[in-house]
């Protein structure tokens, strides 16, 4: 996993709530056996028509919007546990997803892939959408060490939560498997003492 550094970037706004992982990456694109290349089919059915032509009204097809931060409506990433959703978003080039609410499994999957989910208040989310609508070059700054997200050029800022363990993992680019394997003696100890019938 890559180390996570502070991100300062313009944003791609997706003001739709309840975006489920079937929309992020439809099931028919889950047939690969590697982790790469899912970005091509990110939001496939919203992004392309049935003939594979880009739909002009979808934000990823609007060249005026770009950046490493995806900002989406409430309850992002619900539904299927497919980690392919996080892979697709990361593969496309996003480093951060901002929403006022994330589905649990999606949040875990993102953190396990160096993609930072930042949960903000409904009001802050609305302010981001408003500012970006008024000026597409609006930038956000996401500082993981300080756990803050701010809208550049304004005094609007909020802090966000993340567990201390996951934060350390992201900042250092290491993952759960490394950590648990360092504790292997505890696993063996647990197995010795666990309930058996």
Partner 1 sequence: MGKTLFEKVWENHVVSSVDESTDILYIDNHFIHEVTSPQAFAGLEKRGIGVLRPEKTVATPDHNVPTINQHLPIREALSAKQVSKLTENCEKYGVNLYGLQHPYHGIVHIIGPELGITQPGMTIVCGDSHTSTHGAFGTIAFGIGTSEVEEVLATQCLLQSKPKTMKIQIDGELAKGVLSKDIILYIISQISSSGGTGYFVEYCGSAIRSLSMEARMTICNMSIEMGARGGMIAPDQTTFDYVEGREFAPQGESFNNAVAYWKTLFSDDDAVFDKELYYKAEDIEPMVTYGTNPGMGIKVTGTIPELSEITETGKKSFMKSLDYMGFKPGESLYGKSVDWVFIGSCTNARIEDLRMVAEFIKGKKKAEGVNVLVIPGSKQVEKQAIEEGIDKVLEEAGFKLREPGCSACLGMNEDKVPRGEYCISTSNRNFEGRQGPGARTILASPLMAAAAAITGKITDIRELV
Query: What does the binding site for partner 1 look like in residue numbers (CB under 8 A)?
Result: 15-18, 20, 22-23, 26-28, 30-35, 45, 50, 73-75, 78-84, 86, 101-105, 108-109, 112-113, 122, 126, 163-166, 175-177, 179-181, 183-184, 186-187, 190-191, 194-195, 197
**Residue number with CB closer to partner 1 (9 or 89):** 89
What gap in Å lies between CA 64 and CA 3, rounded to an integer? Answer: 29
**Residue number with CB closer to partner 1 (8 or 62):** 62
Minimum CB–partner distance for residue 8 and partner 1 (Å)? 27
Minimum CB–partner distance for residue 71 and partner 1 (Å)? 14
Partners of 141 in beta bridges: 8, 150
**Residue number with CB closer to partner 1 (85 or 96):** 85
Distance set, CA 129 to CA 58, 72, 93, 115, 173 (Å): 16, 9, 20, 21, 31
What gap in Å lies between CA 121 and CA 22, rounded to an integer? Answer: 25
Minimum CB–partner distance for residue 184 and partner 1 (Å)? 8
Minimum CB–partner distance for residue 99 and partner 1 (Å)? 11
Are the C-beta atoms of 22 and 79 separated by less than 8 Å? Answer: yes
**Residue number with CB closer to partner 1 (155 or 197):** 197
Are the C-beta atoms of 94 and 115 separated by less than 8 Å? Answer: yes
120: tokens are 């903000």
């Amino acid at each position: 996993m890559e180390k996570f550094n502070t991100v300062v970037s313009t944003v791609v706004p997706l003001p739709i709530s309840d975006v489920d992982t079937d929309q992020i990456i439809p099931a028919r694109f889950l047939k690969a056996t590697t982790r790469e290349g899912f970005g091509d089919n990110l939001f496939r059915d919203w992004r392309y028509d049935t003939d594979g032509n880009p739909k002009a009204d979808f934000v990823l097809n609007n060249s005026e919007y770009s950046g490493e931060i995806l900002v989406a409506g409430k309850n992002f990433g619900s539904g299927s546990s497919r980690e392919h959703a996080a892979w697709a978003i990361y593969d496309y080039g996003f480093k951060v997803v901002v929403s006022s609410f994330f589905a649990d499994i999606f949040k875990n999957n993102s953190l396990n892939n160096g993609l930072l989910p930042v949960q903000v208040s409904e009001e802050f989310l609305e302010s981001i959408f408003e500012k970006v609508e008024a000026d597409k070059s609006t930038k956000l700054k996401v500082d993981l060490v300080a756990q803050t997200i701010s809208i550049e050029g304004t005094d609007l800022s909020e802090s966000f939560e993340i567990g201390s363990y996951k934060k350390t993992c992201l900042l250092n680019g290491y993952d759960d498997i490394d950590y648990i394997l360092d504790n292997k003696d505890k696993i063996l100890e647990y197995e010795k003492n666990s309930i058996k019938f």
